[in-house]
Amino acid sequence: MTNTRSKWPAARHLQQAADQLREVAPNLSAPIQGYADPVADWLDKAANEMAWLAPFREHEGGYRPWGVATRVAHGVLGLPDPDICTTCHTHAWERKAAQS
């Protein structure tokens, strides 16, 4: 587990998914169990390094990695479409466009 956690609201689902993966890892069967901690670490790293910019616009370099991270997090947590998630996509310009 990383020593620091992002304070950005967009990181919430990624960090929750990382925590959940670490919690269930001991109960998983053998080859899958070996993936839980590395994926959890990757989700934490994405949250810490990228959440302050989320959501990225399609032409920006972080767009695809953020999209993959939010999809993995939503899959782990059993949440619907991350592309319209107001937790993962918190910028005002996005909320304003969604309200129009």
Mean pLDDT computed over 84-97 = 67
Domain ranges of the chain: 9-99
Q: Please give the pLDDT value at position 91.
A: 61
**Angle, nearest 10°, between helix axes 63-77 and 12-24?**
50
Q: Please give the pLDDT value at position 92.
A: 47
**Angle, nearest 10°, between helix axes 30-50 and 12-24?**
160
On whether the pTM is more than 0.75, the answer is: yes
Is 67 or 96 the better-scoring residue by pLDDT?
Answer: 67
| 3 band by pLDDT with thresholds 50, 70 and 90 | low
Mean pLDDT computed over 67-76 = 95
Write out pLDDT tens, residues 29-57: 888 889 999 999 999 999 999 888 766 77
Q: Which of 1-5, 7-11, 44-48, 91-95 has the lowest mean pLDDT?
A: 91-95
Token couple for 83: 């592309």
Q: Is the pLDDT of residue 62 over 80?
A: yes
